[in-house]
Amino acid sequence: MPLTFDKLRQANRTRQGEWPGDDRADLAFRALEVAGECGELSEAVKKYLRAERGIRGSTASLDDIADEMADVIIALDLLAGHLGVDLGAAVRAKFDKTSAKYGLETRLSKD
């Protein structure tokens, strides 16, 4: 079954209700959480490239990168939920706006 932003939001809300201390996770915390997860993703990509290029040091796999990508999306949804932003609608609008700006035909709103 495909995952939607709505399903993620619902699961995030439910799980955060189980998470000790979540009631103290304010806007600043959520924003820093996103930034931290983006940093971890960047680090995984660096380690993947290190392995690919034969540079000595710790390495990461595509699975590691996928895990970090997922963490970014989960954290971003938590931030969006805190602000009351419909992430699906925001992505659709921004995608279509960029297509229009550059004269591209592909739009998400056509679906």
DSSP for 6-53 reads: HHHHHHHHHHHHHSTTGGG--HHHHHHHHHHHHHHHHHHHHHHHHHHH
**Is the model's pLDDT at 10 over the cut of 70?**
yes
Give me the domain span that covers residue 15. 5-101
In a domain, 26, yes or no: yes
Count of domains for the chain: 1
In a domain, 110, yes or no: no
**Is the model's pLDDT at 111 over the cut of 70?**
no
Calpha distance 22→62 (Å, rounded) = 30
* pTM for this prediction: 0.93
In a domain, 84, yes or no: yes
CATH number at residue 58: 1.10.287.1080
In a domain, 59, yes or no: yes
In a domain, 49, yes or no: yes
In a domain, 25, yes or no: yes
In a domain, 108, yes or no: no
Closest to 30 (Cα-Cα) out of 91, 83, 98? 83
Q: What is the pLDDT of residues 46-84, one digit of tens each?
A: 999 999 999 999 999 999 999 999 999 999 999 999 999
